[in-house]
Chain A
């Protein structure tokens, strides 16, 4: 969250150098008074004035580590090679900020009119050990769709799965996202920042982002020649989960490098009343980042990450037909519940591995013009193990390998107030069912070729910014299915789709305290392979799911309007309203027929198209009513409606409101950032649903209370952070509408997390 300009004016003389600049809050252009700037090497520093400016005089040329801190903000550490008079502008991340973050310094591109929210380093460190979706759940307008505690997917403005994009390091995650039980394969420890874009994301990324995007972004490696890093340990009492993660980074002589390794092990989670048998997890991840600059105008980055997880699915949710489902639904506690805790993983379970290799090269033709080339290769292997007869439980019932290759070449011009970007892309995906499952594949073998062209034009003029973008994608998909009738045969199908997207944004800073943004985007999304050809029994809900090869692309138009206001010196408000129309919206509809099999009769769900409407409001507020006291709140509501059938859309998040009060004390010598928070979350009952749309009525509303206490200890450039967080403090017994396992079991009870982090 920082950038700096060096205005190296005048002669560099020994010990007469001046370091000056400004410190900002990263909420819109808001200078921070009384921020402290401290030079570790000489043990001296200063603070900012009312305008957020500081000046340190009489410094000797040399290499320094600066630490910049402000009450209520997460301190930043900067390495600086001081050779002449230097101007340094720093944006601090507000600890309580879940508001819009506009990066006010450096050459950062702003997407005009985009509504976006950021989780910075501090929020990521606090929430460490959780999966990606759970981390971003506190952002207004976001919710999480789950299949038990271990499998979670983000929902943005009511849409999820194929309709939102998850970008890992700028690359669309190519994983097997065929259902609610397939979570994104990303280790949040690799991120320095997670951004959520609620509008139609910058078209450069591609993908069918009808409903926004989640961007997981590792930061640049700091230009610091000393070895730095962090080690973190998190223990969660619920599930007795241990998480260890280590990060090392250094500006090297040959290249700058960073290594991150994460290890996680957890066992059965616990509701207030019983253990959720077989809900453990094992995760081992590693990431390596290399950066090198050749002759100051040619930048290279190489990134590799490996994600490996094995997780259990609640044993009592494994059912085989509708009789089992009826029996499981009415129970006090799920079948197979055991009185004792266990780390053991048994069937049903999943094993997923994901490799990402990315190479990016940026070459400056001139000072403002650049060419950028990116290659990203991904390999995803997903194995799912079921409770099976005849010693087959060790044999995966689903075994898919998906490889994806992505190339992007773009040209960028950043002269004056305008930025122009033109690019072309090519993506290739190939999905193969691996032999040896002894089961007909749910998702067929397929490959797809996706060439694309795009342009983005941005103009910053005075207090206004504009953005215009367009994109064309061609989709060529070849599918090989296997017939269900005997003798079984391979049948081949081809699909060709043309997808167009366009977006326009306008951002206007009406006054120093009021920023207004508007974005409108149109996206055509072609059906994915699961919507076209999935075939088979959906475990857990005892229904047969059938693709529909006649599906046409769906067309969405979404308008989103955001206002960020500073109502008083200490009160901020951000409100977002959106309205989205989707024609030919693809969804799963229960069919008239029930299918009789040897396991009884099953309801059949088929993919159909309708016209849908989504609309909603997100509101965030922050109030700092006293020096040490902060309050923040978020409210979100979304309404989904099927305009053709005149009924609600299923799996829409219910309204929710959350709030947090925090107290942050003054630093006492080496003891810094003492902080106590108390937060609550109220989730309303989803009442907008017909009784015919689900097996079971949505669960009642619930309220959860969270609390945390923490602080840090600093000594000679090292910091030890310690915090204790309690989730669901009252041990509330509840179920959530967006959890597919709500038919079978309660949600987790109280969880006490101990979080220790050492930075050096």
Chain B
């Protein structure tokens, strides 16, 4: 067999292997881990109007800006707060809150207050180890004021580190899954 024949044969053999695979099999992945929406639902103890704080960003890391809805709370009132997490990029929306509940030992919410807002957030739930989780909390509002509330969710924090059980994030470590800021007014 001449070299020429051989080359052609080798070429054809291999060519048939890959020219046949046209790149038309692009699939759109289901984005599983995404959290698009965080809602804090605040119900006054002893009755009154329910306030919802909402952060919504359906395109995830994409260029479309999220929408943030802050809230106005009543002075000298205590609220029961419940956090709901959703992935609304899927239809129907996926409830991520359940996932956090299932992995409660590996997660913890932290709350920080800036700008003179007279608000104290305390944990109202515990994980299986008796450490705080933060899906349920109580918001104690003081005098009229305004400022920002930052809600942080950490994955794999060290809950045993100094201050972490009391809600101090300084020594928590881990990765931040959520970090959103809500403008709050108390009046």
B is a partner of A: yes
Residues on A facing B (Cβ under 8 Å): 298, 318-321, 323-324, 327, 335-336, 359, 361, 363, 371, 373, 375, 377, 387-390, 392, 403, 405, 407, 409, 428, 430, 432-433, 435, 437-441, 445-447, 478, 480, 482, 484-486, 488-490, 536-537, 544, 595-600, 602
**Chain A's nearest CB lies how many Å from the CB of B134?**
16
Q: Which of B23, B26, B31 contacts A440 (CB 8 A)?
A: B31
Q: Which of A361, A390, A488 contacts B33 (CB 8 A)?
A: A390
Complex Cα spacing A387 to B157, Å: 13
Complex Cα spacing A405 to B18, Å: 9
With A392-B32, A485-B62, A596-B65 as known contacts, state yes or no: A363 contacts B176, CB within 8 Å.
no
**Chain B's nearest CB lies how many Å from the CB of A486?**
5
* Closest chain A residue, CB of each to CB of B31: A440
Complex Cα spacing A392 to B96, Å: 14
**Chain A's nearest CB lies how many Å from the CB of B64?**
6
**Chain B's nearest CB lies how many Å from the CB of A372?**
10
Count chain B CB atoms within 10 A of each CB in A430, A439, A598 and give the residue with the most.
A598
Complex Cα spacing A387 to B174, Å: 10
With A428-B18, A438-B31, A485-B59 as known contacts, state yes or no: A600 contacts B176, CB within 8 Å.
yes
Q: Which of A323, A359, A430, A490 contacts B176 (CB 8 A)?
A: A323
B55 sits at the interface (CB 8 A): yes
B63 sits at the interface (CB 8 A): yes
B60 and A597 contact, CB distance less than 8 A: yes
Count chain A CB atoms within 10 A of each CB in B155, B176, B180 and give the residue with the most.
B176
With A430-B18, A536-B61 as known contacts, state yes or no: A387 contacts B156, CB within 8 Å.
yes
* Closest chain B residue, CB of each to CB of A373: B7
With A389-B99, A597-B61, A598-B66 as known contacts, state yes or no: A439 contacts B33, CB within 8 Å.
yes
**Chain A's nearest CB lies how many Å from the CB of B87?**
11
Q: Which of B134-187 contact A (CB under 8 A)?
A: 152, 155-156, 173-180
B29 sits at the interface (CB 8 A): yes
B26 and A490 contact, CB distance less than 8 A: yes
* Closest chain A residue, CB of each to CB of B173: A335
Q: Which of B1-36 contact A (CB under 8 A)?
A: 3, 6-7, 10-11, 14, 18, 21, 23, 25-33, 35-36
Q: Which of B31, B38, B66, B103 contacts A439 (CB 8 A)?
A: B31
Q: Which of B14, B30, B66 contacts A438 (CB 8 A)?
A: B30
Report how many A-B pairs have Cβ atoms within 8 Å: 139
A439 and B176 contact, CB distance less than 8 A: no
B125 sits at the interface (CB 8 A): no
B3 and A597 contact, CB distance less than 8 A: no
A441 and B62 contact, CB distance less than 8 A: no
What class of interface size applies to chain B in its complex with A? 35 or more
A598 and B36 contact, CB distance less than 8 A: yes
A599 and B177 contact, CB distance less than 8 A: yes
Residues in A with CB closer than 8 Å to B55 are: 598
* Closest chain A residue, CB of each to CB of B180: A598
Complex Cα spacing A407 to B13, Å: 12
B57 sits at the interface (CB 8 A): yes
Residues in A with CB closer than 8 Å to B36 are: 598
Residues in B with CB closer than 8 Å to A438 are: 29-33
B18 and A544 contact, CB distance less than 8 A: no
A430 and B23 contact, CB distance less than 8 A: yes
Complex Cα spacing A598 to B7, Å: 57
A445 and B102 contact, CB distance less than 8 A: no
With A375-B14, A486-B89 as known contacts, state yes or no: A441 contacts B29, CB within 8 Å.
yes
B177 and A435 contact, CB distance less than 8 A: no
A371 and B3 contact, CB distance less than 8 A: yes
Complex Cα spacing A321 to B150, Å: 14
Residues in B with CB closer than 8 Å to A323 are: 152, 176, 179
A298 and B3 contact, CB distance less than 8 A: yes
**Chain A's nearest CB lies how many Å from the CB of B58?**
5
Q: Which of B27-54 contact A (CB under 8 A)?
A: 27-33, 35-36, 38
**Chain B's nearest CB lies how many Å from the CB of A744?**
12
Residues in A with CB closer than 8 Å to B35 are: 598
**Chain A's nearest CB lies how many Å from the CB of B83?**
13
Complex Cα spacing A433 to B29, Å: 10
Residues in B with CB closer than 8 Å to A373 are: 3, 6-7, 10
* Selected A-B contacts with CB under 8 Å, 27 pairs: A319-B176, A320-B176, A324-B175, A324-B176, A335-B174, A359-B10, A361-B6, A371-B3, A373-B6, A375-B10, A375-B11, A388-B33, A405-B14, A430-B18, A432-B23, A433-B29, A440-B60, A441-B29, A445-B23, A478-B23, A482-B29, A484-B60, A488-B28, A595-B61, A595-B63, A597-B60, A597-B61
